[in-house]
Structure formats: C-alpha cells, structure tokens
Amino acid sequence: MTIKSSNIVWHNSTITRTDREKLHQHKGVVLWFTGLSGSGKSTLAHAVETYLHKINISTYVLDGDNVRHGLCGDLGFSDQDRVENIRRIGEVAKLLTEAGIITLTAFISPFKIDRDNARKCLPHGDFLEIYCHCPIETCEQRDVKGLYKKARAGEIPLFTGIGSPYEPPTRPELIINTEKLTIEESIEEVIKLLKEKNLI
C-alpha cells in the first residue's frame, strides 16, 4: 500500500504491547476465521469469544457484516472492494493485537493473497488462520440469510462460491469441519489450539 499522507511521523507509545499483555495476563493474537457464507464462521467466532470471556480473556470479534455498517460501509463486493475490505480488517486486527487483545475475525475473505497479506501485517505467530470447512451444498441448505437463493436467482452477481471464487487455505493453523462437528466440539478445537500455542 502507498501512503498518500505527507509530513507524518510514527509516534512510539510509552506503553508497550508487553505492558498491555501483562495487564490482560494473556497474549494478543488474531484468530482469522475464513470459509464460505453459511459455514459457521460468525457463530463459531462469537461462541469462542463467549468461552474466553468467561475465563477472563480480553477479546473482540470483528464480524464481516458488522464492519460493513461503519468502517467498510463505503465498500461493495467487487474484487477490488473485497481486497480493500480485508486490508482494513487486517490493519484493525493488528492494532487490537498490539493492545494485547485476542481478536477474532469472521470474514469469508475469499482470496488467499489477501489473507496472506493480513498475516504479513503481524509478527510471526500472531495470526492463526482457522478454516471453517463446509461443502457449499450444506451452506446452501442452511442459507441462514437467504443469500444463496438470491445468488442463484441472479440478484447477487458476485456471490462467493457461485459468481465469485473462494480459495481455500492451503496451510491453515486449524481446519474445523463445521458440517460434522457440533459447536461445542468446534470451540474445543479452537481452545486446544490456543493452549498448544501457549496463548492462554
């Protein structure tokens, strides 16, 4: 990205990330949930947040639909806008991680290069990609928002999985089969990953 602003200087904080993590008593990290619409990303992200909150972990969920009501309200769903959407989320997630918070992002984020760029924003080990794997047939059967039906009717021309591609992660830190696992089993898999990484 080219920075257009001139006459700006980075200001180092007097409070470090380490200071903030000591206050929270855990490390900051990004849990990046990706998958097709209807694969269970938001449901799982919010369920994991609830679990972590109950054990006094500082968290925040960045949800795909929610950020388009504000931060990314000026963006549509063209390939270019999707790239910018994920770039912004990556930068926000980085800031929250610097604050010592466990950030859970729930975005289709269909393009591998955009997820890789979000990973590059963060120090090694601070980005955990979690692929909510679910066949498109099952996602369509769920169709909780009625989006697949609209896409099949031609009302949403660039819908991921139908009119626009989804590139599955090739080396995610975790794959969760949300077609077969219960929400409780899925939460357990995420918590297990966090413990293995000594993040909680």
Q: Where are the domains of the chain?
A: 17-135+166-196
Q: How many whole angstroms from its chain centre is CA 89?
A: 8
Q: What is the largest CA-CA distance in the chain?
A: 55
Buried b (16+ CB within 10 A) or exposed e, 1-19: eeeeeeeeeeeeeeeebee
Enumerate residues 6+ apart whose C-beta is below 8 A from 5. Answer: none
Q: What is the pLDDT of residue 62?
A: 95
Q: What is the pLDDT of residue 11?
A: 72
User: With contact defined as beta carbons under 8 Å apart, do 136 and 178 qualify?
Assistant: no
Q: What is the pLDDT of residue 144?
A: 82
User: With contact defined as beta carbons under 8 Å apart, do 61 and 49 qualify?
Assistant: yes
Structure tokens at 28: 């900051």
Residues 115-136: pLDDT tens digits? Answer: 999 999 999 999 999 999 999 9
Q: What is the pLDDT of residue 102?
A: 97
Q: What is the pLDDT of residue 3?
A: 63
Would you please indicate which residues are annotated as catalytic (active-site) residues? 109
Name residues of the chain where pLDDT drops below 70: 1-4, 8-10
Environment class of residue 84 by beta-carbon count within 10 Å: exposed (0-12), middle (13-18) or buried (19+)? middle
User: With contact defined as beta carbons under 8 Å apart, do 108 and 167 qualify?
Assistant: no
Buried b (16+ CB within 10 A) or exposed e, 122-149: beeebbbbbbbbbebeebbeeeeeebbe
Bridge pairing between strands 29-34 and 59-63? unpaired
Q: What is the pLDDT of residue 4?
A: 67
Q: What is the pLDDT of residue 1?
A: 58
Q: What is the pLDDT of residue 188?
A: 98
The CATH T-level fold of domain 17-135+166-196 is Rossmann fold (3.40.50)
Q: What is the pLDDT of residue 78?
A: 84
Q: What is the pLDDT of residue 44?
A: 98
DSSP 86: H
Q: What is the pLDDT of residue 68?
A: 87
SS (H, E, C) 93-162: HHHHHHCCCEEEEECCCCCHHHHHHHHHCCCCCCEEEEEEECCHHHHHHHCCCCHHHHHHCCCCCCCECC
Query: Phi and psi of 120, rounded to 5°?
Result: -65, -20
